[in-house]
Structure 1
Amino acid sequence: MRKFYITGFLILMAFDTLAQLSFKLASIHAMPLTFDWAWLVRVFSHPWIYGAFIGYIGAFFIWLNLLKHAPIGPAFAASHLELISVMFISVWLFNEPLTLTKVLGAVLIFAGVCFLAKDEESSQQHEVEPPPG
């Protein structure tokens, strides 16, 4: 079951990352922001907006499937791992600065997911073990 969780959350992270990066690329190519028909045409004529739709639809179905099996606490925390992947890819793709604050935030997010997963694992072991005596 552990392999299912890891694979599922990696796929979820990939879909979420695709959605976030696609929205950013679509918004860059749709500039300037004008709130008129020409702007809407620019948005929907660029293929990255459809990458965003695919990313969100894929993430939605993967998330629903994971929620059938995964404990909600660690699952909710792990669903935010795309913040880390988007940050690192944005540094590479968009030349965004990688600051100490961003790195510390990524470490804290990852540590939080690990602690929640470990806590869930230990609480499940305590439920399975018969009481002494």
Structure 2
Amino acid sequence: MRRFYLIGFLVLMCFDTFAQVCFKLTANHAMPPEANLDWVLRLLSTPWVYCAIACYVGAFLSWMTLLEHAPIGPAFAASHLEVISVMALSVVLFDEKIGTPQLLGCALIIAGIVCLAISETDGEKPPA
């Protein structure tokens, strides 16, 4: 079952991460933002918007499958790992900068996931 969780959360994180990257690519393609039909058509003409939608569908299906089997606390926390993966890819793909607040946020996300995972496993131990 542990392998199922690992693969499931990895798939979920990939779908979520690529959805965010595709939305960023869509936004870059549709620049400058304008409130008119030309802008909407420019937005809809990029394949990235459709990739993002497909990734969100994949993320939804992955999440629903995981929720059938995984404990809700760690599952909900682990679903936020995509914040870290999106940030890391943004540095590589979009030349964005990471500062101390972002690194601290990453550390807190990971610490929260670890704490919830430990509390779930402690609850599963039989009484002594």
Into which bin does the TM-score normalised by the smaller protein fall? over 0.9
Letter aligned with residue 60 of structure 2: F
Query: C-alpha separation between the residues in 1 aligned to 2:12 and 2:35?
Result: 32
Structure 1's unaligned 5+ residue stretches are none
Query: C-alpha separation between the residues in 1 aligned to 2:51 and 2:118?
Result: 34
The reply to whether residue 40 of structure 1 matches residue 37 of structure 2 is no
Match of 1:72 in 2: 72
Deviations 1:33-84 (A, max 9, x none): 1122111111111011111101100000000000000111111111110000
| Largest Rg, 1 or 2 | 1
TM-score, normalised to structure 2, is 0.96
Match of 1:90 in 2: 90
User: What is the SS of the residue equivalent to 2:80?
Assistant: coil
Shift of residue 121 of structure 1?
1.0
Query: C-alpha separation between the residues in 2 aligned to 1:111 and 1:59?
Result: 23
Letter aligned with residue 89 of structure 2: I
Structure 2's unaligned 5+ residue stretches are none
CA RMSD in angstroms, aligned pairs only: 1.0
Letter aligned with residue 19 of structure 2: A
Query: C-alpha separation between the residues in 2 aligned to 1:65 and 1:13?
Result: 14
| Residues matched between the structures, number | 128
Letter aligned with residue 59 of structure 1: A
